Amino acid sequence: AQTVTQSQPEMSVQEAETVTLSCTYDTSESDYYLFWYKQPPSRQMILVIRQEAYKQQNATENRFSVNFQKAAKSFSLKISDSQLGDAAMYFCAYRGGNQFYFGTGTSLTVIP
Amino acid sequence: GAVVSQHPSRVICKSGTSVKIECRSLDFQATTMFWYRQFPKKSLMLMATSNEGSKATYEQGVEKDKFLINHASLTLSTLTVTSAHPEDSSFYICSATRVRSGYGYTFGSGTRLTVV
């Protein structure tokens, strides 16, 4: 069975600093996709970044980048130059075929 | 980009009544939509998968007679909470995706249901 694990329920970062959120997953599939979603207090789920498993190159979106280690089944999110607006719940997610699994989430606090 | 509209955003209903929540894909066709329930500071719990033109697939433990799902068209799925009770109070979120599996899911803005 596919599972997604986020081992950090809460994280904090000083404004303008860098923080890394961890995510590991388990799958027997070779073709799948990984995502990080952000859920601010408004509760709207926002796609932050996506990674295709067949691509070795780590995805990057402005201040957000991932460290994708396929063999280790690890998919961490790095937020650089953290901003107050980055404060939110972050969910790691896995998609294989039509199956979609979320991690339990990491609550990120940004300290001014 | 893909947009999913969910309505209403908030609803308060009396115990024993039914409430309908709508989820629409505005600029793409979604053969499959998903309904989630989220408790405070918790992850999303998949309730059911809504398939256009066929019966929904419910996750284990979700009462299909209480949570009625209808996917009448390629752009609309509805969740009806029947005979609502206070324990049904929660945050409900729908999502949809395009056919290609590489796309992430686009989420509606959620519905806060309070049963009094």
Residue B100, pLDDT > 60, answer: no
CA distance A47 to chain B (A): 7
- CA-to-CA separations, B24 to A104, B8, B54, B99, in angstroms, rounded: 26, 12, 17, 16
Measured in residues, chain A has a length of 112
Residue A48: name the closest of A69, A21, A30 by CA. Answer: A21
What does the pLDDT read at residue A69? 96
**Is some CB atom of chain B closer than 8 A to the CB atom of A37?**
yes
Q: Per residue in A60-103, pLDDT tens?
A: 999 999 999 999 999 999 999 999 999 999 999 998 876 778 99
| Poorest-pLDDT segment among A26-35, A56-65, A77-86, B3-12 | A26-35
**B104 and A95 in contact by Cβ < 8 A?**
yes
CA neighbours closer than 13 Å in the CB half-sphere of residue B55: 6
**A45 and B95 in contact by Cβ < 8 A?**
yes
Q: Per residue in B51-76, pLDDT tens?
A: 888 889 999 999 999 999 998 888 99
**In chain B, which residues have their Cβ closer than 8 Å to the Cβ of A89?**
41
If phi > 0 it is left, if psi is from -120 to 50 it is alpha, else beta; for residue A97 that is left
